Amino acid sequence: MEDHDSIRARVRDLVARHDPTATAPREFLGHRFDAGLAWVHAPVGQGGLGAPRDLQAVVDDELAAAGVPRLNAARNPIGLGMGGPTVLAHGTDGQRARLLRPLWTGEEVWCQLFSEPGAGSDLAGLATRAVRDGDSWVVDGQKVWTSLAHHARWAMLLARTDPNVPKHQGMTYFVVDMHAPGVEVRPLRQATGQAEFNEVFLADVRIPDTMRLGDVGQGWTVATTTLMNERVAIGAAAAPREGGPLGDLMSLWRDRPDLRTPGLHHRLLRLWVRAEAARIGNERTRQATAAGKPGPEGSAAKLAYAAIAQDTARLHLELTGADALGYDDWTFRRSEMTGSGQVRCPGFHYLRTRANSIEGGTNEVLRGVIADRVLDLPREPRTDTRTPWKDIPR
């Protein structure tokens, strides 16, 4: 049974065998995976040691003490934040052996084929069809708002496999090869100038049944794992005090004495307190996730994150004035990104945060989750939860 001392010994042995200062980052990540130190709770040979989840913090602290940079989730955010946990929770041993190592190292980027033009907030209403054909499934449909689809090798796909049952019961979850024949990716340009997400068309795309996650018809259960982890990944990411855009705002405040009016000071102080309370609360959320129980607290974290990010961007824009709109390359280059995954430009940040209350579940949907699963309030009346999907008006 692994304990703190044995985990520390494993980390020190890893660092001794593969000097992180002389080893390429991706290669070092591969060695870390092989040593069972990627996610220690996973089975041996699949990036883990079958150890308690809370020992992951020991790995991270020991690596940091050795000078190894913290894991940069921005290199494969959907894979690390959602794909990995879903495969670990619902994948077969063969799927884990094939998918997890290149996901961890960043060799294979992941995306998420959930939302559709007619099924965004009501994800269970999706219409993309998967029809069984021997040992394969043939998929036809359209997905939209798919971040990183233009870079991705694999996608998490939720498709309808039985239209004759209520909508939550007739879906199945697949991992689809984005290089497969019939997959077409078209970029969507945003107000920021980015084209970070896309619409994806699927025409007679064949998926082997071996790439199905979970049982047929149990896609909603598997998708819930993905969505819970997504909200934690977006809203409860680890951040230092005054990290990210809030730190930029605080630096501006300290450098500009002319801005220190009582009204602005009050607004900034309230924003700082909200951000600090959310940061501390997120520590508890991450502990719940480390214990294998990502739940509705992730929805609360993501809801708070969206509001704080938007209010931070709005105040930064006000304090900066016309200079905030002065970034002249609206086509967006990855080289302009900081370690936090954002361009350090108030105008860009203001525009980008408009999406924070939509992506990963709209604010309205998340409030519904909190009302239902945290506050135990009565649910809104629904007329479509027992009706076969094919009979629901669209």
111 Cβ contact partners less than 8 Å away, ≥ 6 residues apart: 78, 146, 147, 148, 149, 151, 152, 154, 155, 156, 178
- Contact call for residues 103 and 145 (beta carbons, < 8 A): no
End-to-end Cα distance, the chain: 54
- Is residue 339 located within the same domain as residue 238? yes
Given a cut of 90, whether residue 368 has pLDDT beyond it is no
Given a cut of 50, whether residue 100 has pLDDT beyond it is yes
Cβ count within 10 A of residue 203: 13
- Is residue 199 located within the same domain as residue 233? no
- Is residue 142 located within the same domain as residue 33? no
Indicate the pLDDT class of residue 334, thresholds 50, 70 and 90.
Answer: very low
| 99 within domain boundaries | no
Q: 34-91, pLDDT tens digit by residue?
A: 999 999 999 999 999 999 888 988 999 999 999 898 888 888 999 999 999 999 999 9
- pLDDT reported for residue 338: 35
- Is residue 227 located within the same domain as residue 363? yes
Given a cut of 90, whether residue 102 has pLDDT beyond it is yes
| 133 within domain boundaries | yes
| Closest alpha carbon to 234 in 303, 280, 296, 187 | 303
How many domains, in total, are found in the chain? Answer: 3
CA dist 204 and 58 (Å) reads 47
Mean pLDDT of 228-247: 70
Given a cut of 70, whether residue 188 has pLDDT beyond it is yes
Catalytic residue among 196, 230, 242, 283: 230
193, 216, 239 - which closes a domain = 216
214 Cβ contact partners less than 8 Å away, ≥ 6 residues apart: 90, 172, 173, 221, 222
3-state secondary structure 32-77: HHHCCCCCCCCCECCCECCCCHHHHHHHHHHHHHCCCCCCCHHHCH
Residue 115, domain CATH: 2.40.110.10
- Is residue 292 located within the same domain as residue 366? yes
- Contact call for residues 192 and 332 (beta carbons, < 8 A): yes
- Give the domain range for residue 33: 4-71
- Is residue 145 located within the same domain as residue 205? yes
| Closest alpha carbon to 363 in 319, 281, 280, 304 | 304
- pLDDT reported for residue 30: 96
CA dist 178 and 68 (Å) reads 32
- Is residue 361 located within the same domain as residue 284? yes
Given a cut of 80, whether residue 245 has pLDDT beyond it is no
| 390 within domain boundaries | no
| 383 within domain boundaries | no
**Which of 120 and 18 is assigned the larger pLDDT?**
18
- Is residue 368 located within the same domain as residue 229? yes
Is 116 noted as a catalytic residue in this protein? no
Residue 335, domain CATH: 1.20.140.10
Going by the DSSP 8-state scheme, the letter that residue 192 receives in this structure is T
Mean model confidence pLDDT for the chain: 87
- Contact call for residues 70 and 340 (beta carbons, < 8 A): no
Query: pTM value?
Result: 0.83
